[in-house]
Structures are given as C-alpha cells and as structure tokens.
C-alpha cells in the first residue's frame, strides 16, 4: 500500500527533525546503513511503548476479546445426555437418552461473520492506543529537550549577567562606571535568577514525565540512542504530495477502521438477532428397559414463540446498527478535519521555522560578541547593553519555542496519519 510505504520513510525524516540536538555525534565513523539506524533506534523506542503498563492493559483486553471472538466460532448447541430410573412394585424401569438441538437457522455462521469484525474493532483500537502512546512519548521527549535548552539558556544568561556585575563593580572602583550601572546589572540578574529557578524546576518535571512514558530512558541515553539519526533520514520523502496521499487515504486510519468495523459488526448483529429468535428443534433418542421389555423412544420438541416473538430485540439491533453507522461517519468526518487542521498547522510552523533557521544561523555568538564589544568600547551604555542582553535571551527563547512548536506539529501529524510503524 502506498500509505504504508510512505509511513516508513516519513517517520525517519520526522525523527531527524524531532531530535536535532542529538544528531551531531559519531556520524562519520559508522558503516551501518541509514535504514538500519532508523530500525535500531525505533526498535528501542517502540519497545518502551509496547512495554508500558497502559499498552499492556489494552493488549490484554484485546486478547480477551480475541478469546471471546474464538468462542463465537464454536457450535451453538452441545448434545445432551439424560438418564431415568423408576421402580414400580418389583419391576425396575430405566432409560438412557441422547438429544441434540439443531442450529436450524445457522446461528453459528452469523456469529462467525460477526466475530471477524469484532476482532478488527479491538485490533484497530490497540493500534490506535500504540499510536497515541508513541505520540505521548515523543511529546514528553520534546518537552524535556525544550526544558533543557531553556535551562541552559537561563543559566548562560545568569553567568553572563553575573560576570557583567563583577566587571561593573571593578570598573566602579576606578570611577569608570557609576552606581546606576551596577544597579541595572543587579536588577537584571535578579530577574534572571528567578527565570533560572523556574527553568530548572520545569526541567525536573519534564524529566519525570519522560521517565514515566519511557521506563528505560535516562538523561545520558538520547545522545547514544539518537546520535545516528541525521544523514539521509531528513529527506524529501515528506513532500506535500505525500501529505496529500495521507489525507486522501483516510479510511486506513485506526480510529476510522475501528468505527467502520463496529458498524459492520452491528449490521451482522441484526442478522444474528433475527436468527437467534428463530425456534430451533431438539431431536432425541432413548433406550431402556421397562419391566421385562426393552424400550426405544424418539423425541422432538420446539419452542413456540407465541407469548413473545422477540421483535423488540430485532428493533433494538437495527437501532444499534444505525447508531454505529452514524458514529462511523462522525469519526471519519472528525478525522478528516483533524488531518486538515494538523496539515495546515505543520505547514505554517515549517515555513516560519525554516525562515527562522536562515535568520538565526551563525548569529548567536556573533550577536553576543558584538554587544559586548560595543559596550566595552563605550558605543553602548550599560542600560542599552543590559536591555540588549535581555532581548537576545528572549529571541533565543522564542527560537526554542518555535522549534518545539514545529516538532510538536510534526508529532501531531504522525499521530493523525497513524504513521508510527508498530
């Protein structure tokens, strides 16, 4: 299928974007193919997802439904053995009988047909649970990355302002700078200390969330795990044409497939209900002794649906089927709009992020050096320098947030298109 092939290549490209800070290490000394690298790293990640208690619970529920589905394939009626003994005077009478109710309306065939779609329902729900947990894991990983970058930025700003304050205090002693300059640096440093504390707390919270989703994760692992995801992974496979293929193939997504299977199962349920209310005959044969004579008997019985024709059950089954159809159409419609919204969001963030990358490339260190040189040379006052440092820090923080928003948009697109390959 075109969609499944596209998923494999697109996922690799997306992972390269999702983990850009991890992709600078040991790229030149590896002989493993790019495809093998993707498989290796995705294997670790998918194992964490599949072993998560939430997924285990859903998987075992699926297995239970599979067992119930297998039970629906079994014959409707078992044979029945009966025995009877009587004593009349000095004579003993006894008999042995065997009877079997016949599945005259072939309920078993209807159950088998319905069980196929019930299995598909739970299978797709399990697939959907995997997709959501994978998105949750990547979202937690991105959150940790953002918190780490924000923390590093805040600490860097704290150190820079601390050095500035120390330098100003030394220059005060020579009369080069006054009290106002020191006060400005002090005020800015005080604000930065608050931001640093907040960033450190958010980093610890993000780490906790990530450890909950990925049990084997540690702060040292990402560099080892994702260090080989660059190279050919960030390819052109994720083109606008491929994105449109995903939208046009909406019937292949787990939520839609599950809803459709539920609808068909309810339709099969109408047929099963109609067959179940049909009366099935029971045939029996018995043999025994009555007094001194051998006795052979035949029996026949059939329920008479005269007091209750069970028409209410048929109407209920029909209503369930109509409701399931409406739910299927609703799920499909919601998925369509979710895909379109996710695609629009991804395209917008991608355009802005790529533009930001062009603007920001190489500017971080240059701007820092330029600002410091201008202040030392007297071309910039201390107030202007402190304000410029704050603006630079805010600009870098905005870049981190934009990059994170783009990554999250990609994760949402992967989720909406069910592109995680389990």
pLDDT, tens digit (0-9, with 9 covering 90-100), for 210-222: 888 888 776 665 5
Crossing angle for the helix pair 363-376 and 382-416, nearest 10 degrees?
170
Between the alpha carbon of residue 181 and those of residues 81, 174, 392, the distances in Å are 103, 14, 19
Res 321: pLDDT: 94
Which segments of the chain have a pLDDT < 70? Answer: 1-41, 89, 163-187, 189-190, 218-248, 361-382
Q: Which domains does the chain have, with CATH numbers?
A: 2-75+108-274+320-416 (1.20.1600.10)
> Crossing angle for the helix pair 311-360 and 254-276, nearest 10 degrees?
180
Instruction: Output the pLDDT for position 258.
Output: 94
What is the structure's pLDDT at 30?
Answer: 36
Instruction: Indicate the SS3 state at residue 94.
Output: strand
What is the C-alpha separation between 303 and 153, in angstroms, rounded? Answer: 80
pLDDT at 396 (0 to 100): 82
- Alpha carbon distances (Å) from 316 to 69, 215, 293, 311: 22, 46, 54, 9
**234-279 residue pLDDT tens:** 333 455 555 665 566 788 889 999 999 999 999 999 999 898 888 8
- Distance between CA 346 and CA 408 in Å, rounded? 9
> In the prediction, which pLDDT does 40 show?
44
Q: What pLDDT is recorded for position 172?
A: 61
Contact between residue 10 and residue 240 where contact means Cβ atoms under 8 Å apart? no
Q: In this structure, are residues 344 and 414 in contact, taking their beta carbons and an 8 Å threshold?
A: no
295 sits in which H/E element: strand 293-301
Cα 147 to Cα 102, 206, 401, 412: the distances in Å are 68, 7, 10, 20
Paired strand residues for 102: none
Instruction: Determine contact, residues 158/196, Cβ cutoff 8 Å.
Output: yes
Specify the pTM: 0.77
**SS3 track for 354-378:** HHHHHHHCCHHHHHHHHHHHHHHCC
Q: Which pLDDT score, from 0 to 100, does residue 372 have?
A: 62
């Amino acid at each position: 299928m075109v969609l499944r092939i596209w998923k494999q290549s697109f996922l690799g490209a997306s992972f390269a974007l999702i983990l850009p800070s991890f992709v600078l290490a040991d790229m030149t000394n590896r002989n493993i193919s790019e495809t093998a690298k993707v498989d290796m790293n995705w294997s670790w990640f998918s194992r964490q997802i599949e072993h998560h208690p939430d997924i285990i619970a859903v998987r075992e529920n699926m297995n239970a439904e599979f067992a119930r589905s297998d039970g629906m394939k079994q014959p409707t009626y078992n044979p029945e053995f009966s025995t009877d003994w009587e004593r009349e005077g000095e004579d003993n009478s006894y008999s042995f009988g065997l009877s079997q109710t016949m599945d005259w309306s072939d309920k078993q065939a209807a159950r088998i047909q319905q069980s196929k779609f019930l299995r598909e329902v739970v299978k797709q729900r399990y697939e959907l649970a995997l997709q959501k947990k994978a998105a949750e894991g990547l979202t937690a990983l991105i959150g940790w990355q953002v918190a780490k970058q924000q923390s590093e930025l805040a600490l860097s700003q704290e150190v820079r302002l601390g050095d500035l304050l120390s330098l100003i205090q030394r220059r005060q002693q020579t009369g080069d700078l006054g009290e106002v300059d020191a006060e400005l640096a002090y005020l800015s440093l005080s604000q930065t200390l608050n931001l640093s504390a907040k960033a450190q707390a958010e980093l610890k919270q993000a780490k906790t969330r990530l450890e909950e989703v990925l049990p084997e994760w540690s702060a040292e692992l990402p560099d080892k795990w994702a260090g080989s995801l660059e190279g050919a992974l960030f390819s052109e496979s994720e083109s606008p044409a491929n994105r449109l293929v995903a939208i046009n193939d909406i019937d292949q997504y787990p939520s839609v497939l599950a809803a459709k299977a539920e609808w068909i199962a309810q339709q099969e349920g109408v047929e099963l209900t109609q067959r179940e209310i049909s009366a099935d005959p029971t045939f029996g044969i018995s043999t025994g002794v009555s007094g001194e004579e051998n006795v052979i008997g035949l029996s026949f019985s059939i329920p008479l649906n005269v007091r209750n024709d069970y028409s209410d059950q048929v109407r209920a089954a029909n209503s369930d089927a109509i409701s399931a159809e409406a739910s299927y159409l609703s799920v499909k419609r919601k998925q369509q709009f979710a895909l379109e919204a996710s695609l629009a969001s991804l395209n917008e963030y991608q355009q802005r992020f790529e533009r930001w990358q062009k603007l920001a490339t190489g500017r971080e260190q240059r701007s820092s050096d330029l600002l410091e040189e201008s202040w030392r040379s007297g071309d910039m006052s201390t107030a202007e320098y402190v304000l410029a440092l704050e603006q630079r820090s805010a600009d870098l923080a905005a870049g981190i947030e934009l990059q994170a928003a783009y990554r999250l948009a990609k994760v949402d697109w992967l989720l909406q298109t069910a592109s995680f390959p389990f």
